[in-house]
Amino acid sequence: YEYTENLEYHYRVPIYIDSPMAIEATKAFTKNSYYFNDEAKNLIKEGDNIFQFDNLRYVQTTEESMALNKVEFPRVIISSSGMATAGRVRHHLKHNLWNPKNAVVFVGYQAQNTLGRILLDGAKSVKLLGEDIAVKADIKIIDGFSGHADKNILLEFLDNFKDKPKNIFIVHGEKEQMNPLCDDIKDKYNIDCLIPKFGESYTLDVLESKYIDELTSEEMTENIDIDLNDISKDIDKINDYYKNMDKKEINKKRYREIVSILNDLKSDLMDLNLKLGK
């Protein structure tokens, strides 16, 4: 981002994550940070906690969620569902759509007939929780934040399969896009592509991966060497960061979380010693 005079002010604007599913998904991400891309890993190694910063708040209870609509200070509320069809977002919309000082920003595709699409199409009034709500807030959309891969990325994903799947099911999207994608998969890979109808069921055969069985002894040893070297470098960086950090930042909650992770790490290292031992 680019520094501006207002940046420090925006740092102080509280951001609330008000979605139980998003909070649980975030927990899953934090437990699997090893699989992040290199950019995210490097940020973390430099001491940047990408899931926690000073003005970020995770809303845990329904009471906390309701309280967000009783205050008037500037704030950002990130809530689900993304298309405003269900969940806490509908309560936030009911209490904020009528106010021209507010903005509602969608960050993903809005399917036909969803409340999100209705708002983007310029509705002047919508029915929410049994009430007609005037739409006076500024309605915006930011493209590019969708977690869904487009056709080119999906085809590239298939390109990287050494052994191509025998069947592919397309279950998410609109027919105008699903049908051409299915045709492209059939033409390019000669794979049977299906778009299941509602209520249809299929029985799948589960095949074990052949990847490990195909590795030579030298390749297995090389992979272990690379992983151990990466772990050693990561521990060195953690030590350097810890030596230079402000120890006052460690409160009791953070201490418990750090000790829990260290205990798990010590246990895993002991298990690794057992596996590497004669």
- Given this model, what pLDDT does residue 244 score? 85
Q: Is the dihedral of CA 45, 47, 52, 56 positive or negative?
A: negative
- Given this model, what pLDDT does residue 140 score? 95
* pLDDT, tens only, 163-181: 888 899 999 888 888 999 9
- Given this model, what pLDDT does residue 154 score? 92
- Ranking 3-7, 35-39, 221-225, 234-238 by mean pLDDT, the lowest is 3-7
Asked if residue 65 lies in contact with residue 18, where contact means CB atoms within 8 angstroms, the answer is: yes
DSSP code at position 94: H
Structure tokens at 103: 């903005």
Structure tokens at 73: 């200070």
User: What single letter denotes the amino acid at residue 159?
Assistant: D
Asked if residue 129 lies in contact with residue 91, where contact means CB atoms within 8 angstroms, the answer is: yes
d(CA 177, CA 175): 5
Q: Residue 207: which pLDDT band, with cuts at 50, 70 and 90?
A: low
* pLDDT, tens only, 72-108: 889 999 998 879 999 999 999 999 999 999 999 998 8
Residue 137 has pLDDT above 70, yes or no: yes
In this structure, whether the domain defined by 7-141 belongs to CATH 3.40.50.720 is answered with: no
Asked if residue 38 lies in contact with residue 79, where contact means CB atoms within 8 angstroms, the answer is: no
Flag whether the pTM goes above 0.75: no
What does each C-alpha distance from 156 to 140, 146, 147, 160, 261 come to in angstroms? Answer: 31, 18, 16, 7, 36
The residue ranges of DSSP E strands in 50-207, in sequence order, are 56-58, 76-79, 103-106, 125-128, 131-134, 138-141, 167-169, 192-194
* pLDDT, tens only, 104-132: 999 888 888 899 999 999 999 999 999 99
Peptide bond into 19 cis (omega under 30): no
- Given this model, what pLDDT does residue 181 score? 94
- Given this model, what pLDDT does residue 118 score? 95
* pLDDT, tens only, 21-56: 889 999 999 888 888 888 888 888 777 888 888 889
- Given this model, what pLDDT does residue 9 score? 74
Over residues 228-251, the mean pLDDT reads: 87
- So where are the chain's domains? 7-141, 151-194, 224-276
d(CA 262, CA 159): 40
Question: Which element (helix H / strand E) includes 15?
Answer: strand 15-18
Could you tell me which of 103, 107, 139 has the C-alpha nearest to residue 123?
139
DSSP code at position 34: G
